Amino acid sequence: MRSPLDGVRVLDLSRVLAGPIAGRMLCDLGADVVKVEPPEGDVTRTFGRGPQTAYFRQQNAGKRSITVDFRTDEGCALVRRLAAVADVVLENFRPGVLAKFGLGWEDLSALSPRLVMLSISGFGQDGPERDRAAYAGVIHAETGVIARQRRHGDDPPADIPISMADSVTGLHGVVAILAALRHRDATGEGNHIDLAMVDAMLFCDDYAPGAPSGPRAEPTEAERIANGNCDIVDAPGGPLIVMGAFKWIWKSVNERLGLADPTPPGADVATKIHLRHRAWRAFVAGFEDRGELLAALDRANLAWGTVKTSAEAVVSPTFVHRGTIVEVDDEGSTHTVIRAPYRFSSASSGVRGPAPHQDQHAAEVLADWLG
C-alpha cells in the first residue's frame, strides 16, 4: 500500500527534539526526510554512549543524512538548492539565525513559492521574547506546569521528567504542515508556519483555562483529595492509579460495591472526605489477589492503570499486539524504535529504517534531489 505522504520531500534542518520529532512523524507517514547536520553532527548523537544513541535513533529513524557546513558559502548554496526542490523545510533555530546565512523564509520562498516552512521557537518569530533560548523545561516553567507539580508549599519546584513541550510542539508542527500542504494543493501558494513552544504547551494544558488568578492559600488535605482528578493507591502487586474526582470514586464503590460509609451523622465535609478516603484505601489494601481487585474496580466502572516503569510499559500486551515496538536492522546490529501511533485502513505507515549514520546518504540525496 502507498503511504499517505509518498513523494513529499522534507528538508530537516532541526536538531534535538521539537523539530526532529516532527520530521520523524512525517517520515513514518511516507515522506522522504533528509536530515541536514553540521560537521560536528546533531548534539543528540552524544546523548549517551556510542555513535548512535537511543535518543537519536528514536527521533531520526528512517531519515537520510547529509552533512553541510553553514559557515561556508558552498554549504549555504547547497541548502538553498535542496530547499528549492523540497516541499517542506523544518527548522528550530532562534528567530533570525537562518536569515544570517541567507536561508530564512524570505530567501527560500523566493526560490520556491510553493514551499512550506515550519519554524519552531520558544516564544515566536516576533515579540518581546523572541530571542530567548528555550528548551522543554523553560517552557514548562513559563506555562505554569512546574509550579503546579508542587504538592505542598514547602516542596521545591521540580520539572516533569519528560520533554513534553518539545513533543507537543512537534505534533502541532505536523498538523500545521499537513494543513499548509492542503492549502498549497488548493491555491498553489506556500506558507511560513510560526510555531511557538509556549503556545503549543499552553494549548495542550487542560488545566490552564480554569486556572485561578492571583495568589492562593495552600489547600488542606480535604481540598487536595476533593479537587484531585485521580488517586494513586497502594495495592496488592504494586500501586494503581484510579481516575476521577474522589467524589466519583466514592460514589462508585459505595453504590456498586457496597463499601459502607464510615462517617457519623452530622460530620462536616472535611471529616467526611477524610474518613471516606481512608475507608477507600483500606478497601483496596484489603484484597489479597490483584486480579480480584481489578475485577471489582471494573464492576464499579472505574478507570484504573498499573503504575509501570518504562521497561515494563514497552512489553505490555497492547504494544506487542499493535506492533508498537519495532526492531530495526542497522548494518548487522538490531535496535529498538517506537513507531508513530498512526494506523490506516488503506495506507501504510511505520518505521522505514534505522536512524542514519552521519553523512551516510550524501551521494544518493544529491543524486535523487538534484540530479
Which residues are annotated as catalytic?
A: 166
Alpha-carbon distance of 40 to 51, in angstroms, equals: 12
Give every CB contact of residue 242 below 8 A, 6+ residues apart in sequence: 230, 231, 232, 233, 249, 297, 302, 303, 304
Cα dist from 128 to 123, 124, 274, 368, whole Å: 9, 9, 48, 42
Alpha-carbon distance of 238 to 198, in angstroms, equals: 36
Cross-strand bridge partners of residue 65: 35
Give every CB contact of residue 262 below 8 A, 6+ residues apart in sequence: 275, 276, 278, 279
- Residue ranges of alpha helices (H) inside 161-304 are 164-187, 197-203, 221-227, 246-256, 269-285, 290-299
| Residue type at 358 in one-letter notation | Q
**Quick one: cell of 128?**
518581546
| Residue type at 50 in one-letter notation | G
Cα dist from 298 to 12, 53, 308, whole Å: 46, 41, 19
Decide: 159 and 140 in contact? Cβ < 8 Å.
Answer: yes
SS3 of residue 83 by DSSP: helix
SS3 of residue 302 by DSSP: coil
Alpha-carbon distance of 337 to 326, in angstroms, equals: 5
**Quick one: cell of 314?**
514497552
Alpha-carbon distance of 70 to 75, in angstroms, equals: 5
